[in-house]
A = this chain, B = another copy of it.
Amino acid sequence: MSAGKQLKPTESELEILRVLWEKGPSTVREVHEILEQSKDAGYTTTLKLMQIMHEKGLLQRDASSKTHIYAAAVSQENTQRQLLDKMIDTVFNGSASQLVLQALGNHKSSKEELEKIKQYLNEIEKQQRK
């Protein structure tokens, strides 16, 4: 499976992807109006970015109507994994658990979340014993 590797989105591109992951297929204006809330950029800036992302294969678009509809062409999970792997590699010297300890140490996680993580660890250990 798998065609060519997905390339790493830039900071701005990630902001756009987040909107599309959350809201689903949207027009440039819709995306732009969300972005405007947290940063200030012109409309054509958002447009241009989304066009470039489309060229790169990060977004797909439906141009059948005058106002194009864009959607993420890469999944949130794949992108998260890609960026996370890179961070483990370049920032945590390849040690995922080092990163995990840091992450747990500096953020309040709810009891439920912690429980979920523990269960997960147990499963992994069971796997390993086999």
| Residues of A bordering B, CB below 8 Å | 11, 14-15, 18, 77, 79-81, 83-85, 87-88, 90-93, 95-97, 99-107, 109-111, 113-114, 116-118, 120-121, 124-125, 128
Contact = CB atoms under 8 A, between A and B. Distances in A.
Given A111-B125, A114-B125, A118-B121, A99 B90 contact: no
A121 B79 CA distance: 27
B80 A97 contact: no
Nearest to A22: B93
B87 A83 contact: yes
A52 B83 CA distance: 26
Contacts of A80: 91-92, 99, 102
A15 to B, nearest CB: 8
Nearest to A109: B97
Contacts of A93: 18
Given A111-B128, A114-B121, A81 B106 contact: yes
**Of A84, A103, A121, A125, which is in contact with the most chain B CB atoms at under 10 Å from its CB?**
A103
